[in-house]
Amino acid sequence: PLALAVATTSTTCPYCGVGCGVSASMKDDGRIGIQGDAQHPANFGRLCVKGSALGETVDLDGRLLHPQLRDAQGQLQQLAWDQALDHVASKFSAIIAEHGPDAVALYVSGQLLTEDYYIANKLMKGYIGSANIDTNSRLCMSSAVAGHKRAFGEDLVPVCYEDLELADLVVLVGSNAAWCHPILFQRIARLKETRPALRLVVIDPRRTATCELADLHLPIKPGTDVWLFNGLMSYLAHRGLRDNAFIEAHTKGFDEALAVADADCADPATVARLCKIDLKDLLAFYEAFANTEKVVTGFSMGVNQSSAGTDKVNSIINCHLATGRIGKPGMGPFSITGQPNAMGGREVGGLANMLAAHMDLDQPLHRQIVQDFWQSPRIADKPGLKAVDMFRAIEEGRIKAVWIMATNPMVSLPDADLVQRALQKCELVVSSDVITQTDTNALAHVLLPALAWGEKDGTVTNSERRISRQRAFLSAPGEARGDWRIICDVARRMGFDGFDFAGPHEIFDEHARLSAHRNGEADASRVRRVFNLAGLTGMDRAAYDALAPIQWPVQRLSDGSVSGTARVLEDHRFSHADGRARFVPTAPRSAAHAACEDYPLILNTGRVRDHWHTMTRTGRSATLASHIPESFIDIHPQDALLYGVREGGLARISSRWGAMVARVQHGGGIARGSVFVPIHWNGQSASDARVGAVVNPVVDPVSGEPEFKHTPVAIEEF
Ligand code: SF4
């Protein structure tokens, strides 16, 4: 693509939820120069290796540049935009007319910009009239959303990055931040240099790169987090370390939650045995938490991606509520989001069980408020199917058309072979993407060329709920179009009003106005919604173009003053109707599938440092590929000996759901009884390295988030 006329463009990294600011410029040799944006409060000019290599990933190799339709012989044929859009709109309309609105679905992505997400959600819930829109963020942080809603009454984010710097104890649970959120981790590392009293506890079954900085590492047995935090709650409660005044004034349900915690976890020795950690280490953690006022507990995929993910989240929040350590500087539970715009997606209702602007599908008044604002012909009145169930419904023929945007479910979803069967059976598979050849696109009937990072314009929201602009600095290649525009084009062809926008600035304005629409109106479920972008309405194109990164509702400021979310939490009025936070009783339960004779090892999955998702972008960079050039199975040397696989040789791991092949390695800090495989590699290589095919499709009953960290598997030499 050609560079646009601007010399240097401030934009945002498209990878992890840290949301670093990037300055992109054109070098004399025509290549794209990338630097950290010194003005951006997420990174103050720093970038990790993935962000630094962004300039190596913007070439057009393999790009999808024109709409394509698969012919009767299975060959993709180029066609004009008008024909492609007419085809998608008419097929969707015909299926809805014959089978009803729940016979179609959208499966979207945390890679979409907020404006794209908003339009997709509006089309599906307000015009088609179904909530069958879900996102790959379901695989990432939906347990955190569900935990927040249960505890706070709203998906509040009670911590910002600055709180990490004010804390005296940082606890990271199920988070390899050194690799997965590098710039946030480096902030903690620099602080430890200047403030040695700051302690870091890492709770993770693996000894990861993050543990190198830790004062204490608790290598818990996979899936035992609830036992650990119930034990902490019990320890705090019975040693006079709880904050009775806070509990009395601002919460509900303490006694019930404590009774459940006490039932299995009152004795630290029992907890240590169940979690398979040293009692001395367990007590060291409990004492550190109990005796440190300023504690931030950061958690990530090791907590969320579990059949008990929501309970894990609430068991952590319970400990912060029990000590009153929330809504104060340097304290609180903190969900570190995986994707660049997982947060923006949840703000506009990109999950199948949410409406826009953090309103609830199951609340009649909320549905009325959204429909009233949109003036839409209908509004979905029941939750749609969450990601795993959505593809199951496609496989069973209940959903007959699916439009996939900016994601590759054939690789990334659990039980990925079922996803393959589903897409093979589906009457209409539409894929909006930037790359032609992916595992998913090989099964699509229609490919729609979307704009990529560097070409598209809009906003993203990071883990601390800071809204930043992604700005275009490259021209649109071929016939590629922004996702919001493609969706609007189809919506209009389906006969719907409400999709005429001159640009993303108008969509952002509508989204901001909706968040403020009738906000504060009393209803049975909630007194008010904290999420309110009233202060960001009315921006014209120029103001939107110039928008600096901003936390909104604004949180704690560097001079110590607060507003927005933090103020709500500072006066400790939460979003439940009575203004009180809820303790949630979290009865510990084991992972859905235990190791057995046939499948004796537990598969854990996750990211590596230099790759992102299914590598459609990072795979283009020689710099990034050199860190870890191929997929691997990390296994303890004694287990390798036991199961007859050799380091450096190929092995096949299999589960009840599928199999994959990769090279065996040691040294990844894995305990006996487990294996670790990265999520990135796909089925396009000679041997199918899709770990998604092996992962079990069990989900958390509240959040619907899959259990990516605990699948029983067997291993054999390949
Ligand atoms: Fe990008 Fe995350 Fe690295 Fe920042 S830390 S540069 S957002 S990948």
Query: Is there an atom of ligand 1 within 6 Å of 514 CB?
Result: no
What percentage of the chain has pLDDT greater than the value 90? 80
Expressed in angstroms and rounded, the spacing between residue 253 Cα and the centre of ligand 1 is 39
Expressed in angstroms and rounded, the spacing between residue 383 Cα and the centre of ligand 1 is 33
Query: Is there an atom of ligand 1 within 6 Å of 20 CB?
Result: yes
Site to probe by mutation for ligand 1, drawn from 18, 34, 460 as the one with most ligand atoms within 8 Å of Cβ, is: 18
- Per-residue confidence (pLDDT) for residue 564, from 0 to 100: 40
* Alpha-helical runs (H) found in 396-503: 409-412, 416-425, 483-493
Cβ count within 10 A of residue 369: 23
Question: Is 385:393 a contact under the CB 8 Å cutoff?
Answer: yes
Query: Is there an atom of ligand 1 within 6 Å of 183 CB?
Result: yes
Q: Is pLDDT above 80 for 56?
A: yes
Here the tokens at position 560 are 């110590």
The whole-number average pLDDT for the span 182-210 is 95
Query: Is there an atom of ligand 1 within 6 Å of 110 CB?
Result: no
Separation of alpha carbons 602 and 629, rounded Å: 24
Here the tokens at position 344 are 């923006």
What percentage of the chain has pLDDT greater than the value 70? 95
Expressed in angstroms and rounded, the spacing between residue 550 Cα and the centre of ligand 1 is 18
Here the tokens at position 92 are 């969707």
Expressed in angstroms and rounded, the spacing between residue 604 Cα and the centre of ligand 1 is 23
Query: Is there an atom of ligand 1 within 6 Å of 697 CB?
Result: no
pLDDT band at 527; cut points 50, 70, 90: very low
Q: Is pLDDT above 90 for 218?
A: yes
Query: Is there an atom of ligand 1 within 6 Å of 645 CB?
Result: no
Q: Is pLDDT above 70 for 567?
A: no
Residues 6 or more apart in contact with residue 324 via CB below 8 angstroms: 243, 245, 246, 247, 250
Q: Is pLDDT above 60 for 558?
A: no
Separation of alpha carbons 522 and 535, rounded Å: 21
Site to probe by mutation for ligand 1, drawn from 49, 161, 181, 337 as the one with most ligand atoms within 8 Å of Cβ, is: 181
Query: Is there an atom of ligand 1 within 6 Å of 22 CB?
Result: no
Query: Is there an atom of ligand 1 within 6 Å of 611 CB?
Result: no
Least-confidence region, from 92-101, 398-407, 617-626, 697-706 = 617-626
pLDDT band at 53; cut points 50, 70, 90: very high
Average per-residue pLDDT for the chain: 92
Which atom of ligand 1 approaches the CA of 36 most closely?
A: 6
Which atom of ligand 1 approaches the CA of 22 most closely?
A: 6
- Per-residue confidence (pLDDT) for residue 525, from 0 to 100: 54
Site to probe by mutation for ligand 1, drawn from 16, 111, 627 as the one with most ligand atoms within 8 Å of Cβ, is: 16
Expressed in angstroms and rounded, the spacing between residue 43 Cα and the centre of ligand 1 is 8
Site to probe by mutation for ligand 1, drawn from 10, 20, 609 as the one with most ligand atoms within 8 Å of Cβ, is: 20
HEC assignment per residue over 320-336 = HHHCCCCCCCCCEEEEC
- Per-residue confidence (pLDDT) for residue 154, from 0 to 100: 87
- Residues paired with 403 in a beta bridge: 106, 430
Q: pLDDT tens digits, residue range 1-19?
A: 666 656 799 999 999 999 9
Least-confidence region, from 194-208, 363-377, 522-536 = 522-536
pLDDT band at 327; cut points 50, 70, 90: confident
Residues 6 or more apart in contact with residue 640 via CB below 8 angstroms: 646, 647, 664, 666
Least-confidence region, from 144-153, 266-275, 335-344, 600-609 = 335-344
Query: Is there an atom of ligand 1 within 6 Å of 47 CB?
Result: yes
pLDDT band at 344; cut points 50, 70, 90: confident
Question: Is 410:384 a contact under the CB 8 Å cutoff?
Answer: no
Tell me the whole-structure pTM to 2 decimals.
0.95
- Per-residue confidence (pLDDT) for residue 196, from 0 to 100: 86
Query: Is there an atom of ligand 1 within 6 Å of 18 CB?
Result: yes
| Interface ipTM above 0.95 | yes
Atom 4, ligand 1: residue with shortest CA distance: 20
- Per-residue confidence (pLDDT) for residue 559, from 0 to 100: 52
- Per-residue confidence (pLDDT) for residue 2, from 0 to 100: 64
Task: List, in order of start, the domains of the chain with CATH numbers.
Answer: 68-136+345-501 (3.40.50.740), 142-336+569-582 (3.40.228.10), 601-717 (2.40.40.20)
- Per-residue confidence (pLDDT) for residue 614, from 0 to 100: 86
Query: Is there an atom of ligand 1 within 6 Å of 50 CB?
Result: yes
- Per-residue confidence (pLDDT) for residue 632, from 0 to 100: 95
The whole-number average pLDDT for the span 37-60 is 95
Q: Is pLDDT above 70 for 144?
A: yes
Q: Is pLDDT above 60 for 32?
A: yes
